[in-house]
Chain A
Amino acid sequence: MKILCMVKIVPDVDKFKYDFDTNTVVRENVRMILNPDDASSVGVALKIKHLYPGTTVEVVSMAPESVRPLIYDLVRVGVDRVNLITDKLFSGSDSYATSKVLAKYVQTLSYDIILTGTHAIDGDTSHVPAQLGELLDMSQMSNVIHIDEELLDTTKAVFTVDFDSEVATYEMQLPGILSLRKESGYKLPYIKYEDMNKDVTDSIHVITNNDLGFEPFEIGLKGSKTKVNKTFVKEYEKRDKVVVTNDDQGINTVYAFLQEKGFI
């Protein structure tokens, strides 16, 4: 079986700090990490590889060159090959342009199933997996929380989806796209101590626009159908501690607080 995993490298959003004085979010010195939902997709792919020897797992990512260290780590935990699509011309692409780039490359590959994450912690649009499905003319499902490894083969996949208030099990004919959630619990294995500095450069394949042949107007900012006009920060109030006692006034204060915040 051949599994293709689409991954995105994102800033570690949890480490953003809110500065009350300037009303800004400090994004400097925040590390780049593998998007958590995408890590689950690679995690389940590696689990399947472990169960079915002969399975290959390839990763595709559109990113700047600087993500190499993270990419190397994917090979070190068992990914067979990482295809890094990188070119200055792609920078500034919105999800529409990104999907076109990814689809053009993926069309040149052979695979049985594509696994992705459901949403990215930076953009959080969840557009790319569905748009990839549209361009590759195949089915796509988000919010996958479990894949039935036993029933999986090159023709079909059986999986469970967390669908708002209910949980549903589907069967999808392959090739198709399954988009995982980190709540699925599938995780990337840890790199073994002895593999931490392993040289894996041979397993990285770099693709630039020379290979894909897009016109400049089709990609980057020009090729995007949406543009960020501005960003701003929600205002947070600093907590001002209020101290009361168990008397009527105190209890009323607590009651009012609970009511105001919608708990009563």
Chain B
Amino acid sequence: MLSKDQIIQKLMEMLGQEQINTNPDDLYDASADRYKKYAKARKVLDVPTPVAIVYPKSAEEVSELLKFCNENLINVIPRGGKTATEGGLENWKDLTIVIDALYMDKILKIDPYNSQATVQAGVALQDLEDELRKIGYTTGHSPQSKPVAKYGGLLATRSIGQFSTLYGGIEDMVVGLECVFPDGHISRIKNVSRRAGGPDIRHIAIGNEGTLCYITEVTIKIFKFYPENNKFYGYLINDVETGIKVLREVMVNGFRPSVARTYSEEDAAQHFYHFHDNKCVLLFMAEGPKGIVEATGKAIEEATEKFKDGIIKQVDSQLISDWFDNLNWSQQDIDDEYEGMIENDAHAGYTTEISADWETIPKIYNNVIERVRNEFPRAHELTMLGGHSSHSYLNGTNMYFVYNYEINCAPEDELLIYHHPIQKIIVEETLRMGGSMCHHHGIGKYRNEWAEQEHGSAFYMLEKLKESFDPKGIMNYGTIFPQKEAIQKYIYRG
């Protein structure tokens, strides 16, 4: 086993000086992601810091780095925009290097005729989006982290955006990609419109959360953009069930609004306090060519008419449009929350997001709210508990639970006392009713104690992939594949 100094020595032989970062503040920052945000702000993290952060400039350099780590049993954490929320970037090993895609930030090709764009993994989604808008196109991908997130991570986590109901998730947008494996092998999956050449191997990379390979390049589909046709609809409704029914009606009738959401009262208060009157909110956005938008709008109106018993009133579309313009995070939002956590015993809350079919989602929602209010020992300290559905499909939807609370404990105890018990109830109810505990944030480290339950007998397939591609287990130790001792140490603290 190499020592930390020896590792740094070797890295300096492989890379230029500007590609290696051993600054203590940056390393501290790199040891955890937005999951342990509060403990990080208060400087009481209990996890080891990585040895170095490195910034390769090409797939070949990534290959050299992975080979080196593989030979020397060094843990690797692949990193892009740093927006991970489930511990995917958290470090659980003393000998770790973080491989950051910072310098692989070129947009390689924009090809509107073939509706494709090719970027390196370190390209920020917002940067590509800005370029596409200049030619009247869009990525169609708009997670709340858009201004900050980068393509490598967006793929590795099977991310999804606010307009997914129309454009799909990242998996629907990827054409081809390039990735590097622990043994140094570089795989390039070419760009074709479709093929049946054996199983779809893109899906080994998409969603791997850095446990199997390092993504270096991506080609995605691009879409014509029609902002001038956008139509907004907003309603105050009686309850979440009504909202789900209307969403389903629109979907199964064959329409694809770009945004289709329903919010519970407390979650709605975060965004719509100025008009929601303590009720649940239902909202839609229709986007695309004029005829499609009109037809979609009509379908929405008919759906709300069908369930009008549950609908209290329609709200001014301008309010929905205004809200939409202010939705995304920026780096400043993240920085501001960080500063706030240093000064105050509070943060901006947590989320656990799940998916299930139409029938099951309202049941899960109600069970969770009831269980949390009755079973969670600190329920009286909750300042917010609710959820919203924001990604709909023909056969179901997601539920994004949100919660925040007064923090009346030491910072290092916060997750165990507040977040974890709530998350546990949500995951238990979801798995019990046959839903998925991880709609789009990934398993990370903090849901992997349930990873086997999530996949059941199919977990075998994931395990075999791990055995084949990362036999030495150097890729992002602790993510997806549960490590009992580490879970005991870093989640349950002894």
Contact = CB atoms under 8 A, between A and B. Distances in A.
Interface of A: 31, 190-194
A175 B162 CA distance: 67
A193 B409 contact: yes
Contacts of A192: 410, 413
A193 B380 contact: no
16 contacts: A31-B380, A190-B408, A190-B409, A190-B410, A190-B413, A191-B409, A192-B410, A192-B413, A193-B409, A193-B410, A193-B412, A193-B413, A193-B416, A193-B417, A193-B493, A194-B494
A194 B412 CA distance: 12
Contacts of B493: 193
A137 to B, nearest CB: 39
Interface of B: 380, 408-410, 412-413, 416-417, 493-494
A195 to B, nearest CB: 10
A13 to B, nearest CB: 15
In order of increasing CB-CB distance, the 9 nearest A-B pairs are A193-B413, A190-B410, A190-B409, A193-B416, A31-B380, A192-B410, A193-B417, A190-B408, A193-B493
Contacts of B494: 194
Nearest to A193: B413
Interface centre among A31, A190, A192, A194 (most CB of B within 10 A): A190
Nearest to B381: A31
Nearest to B345: A190
Nearest to B411: A190
A192 B416 CA distance: 11
A87 to B, nearest CB: 29
Nearest to A188: B408
Contacts of A191: 409
Contacts of A194: 494
A192 B493 CA distance: 12
B277 to A, nearest CB: 14
A190 B416 CA distance: 14
A188 B411 CA distance: 15
A179 B337 CA distance: 37
A193 B410 CA distance: 8
A242 B493 CA distance: 55
Contacts of B408: 190
Given A192-B410, A193-B409, A193-B417, 12 more contacts: A31-B380, A190-B408, A190-B409, A190-B410, A190-B413, A191-B409, A192-B413, A193-B410, A193-B412, A193-B416, A193-B493, A194-B494
Nearest to B494: A194
Nearest to B408: A190
Contacts of B412: 193
Contacts of B417: 193
Contacts of A190: 408-410, 413
A192 B413 CA distance: 7
A190 B380 CA distance: 17
Nearest to A15: B380
B376 to A, nearest CB: 14
A31 B377 CA distance: 13
A194 B494 CA distance: 10
Contacts of B410: 190, 192-193
Contacts of A193: 409-410, 412-413, 416-417, 493
Nearest to B417: A193
A155 to B, nearest CB: 36
A192 B412 CA distance: 9
A191 B417 CA distance: 11
Nearest to B412: A193
Nearest to A30: B380
A111 to B, nearest CB: 29
Contacts of B416: 193
B24 to A, nearest CB: 27
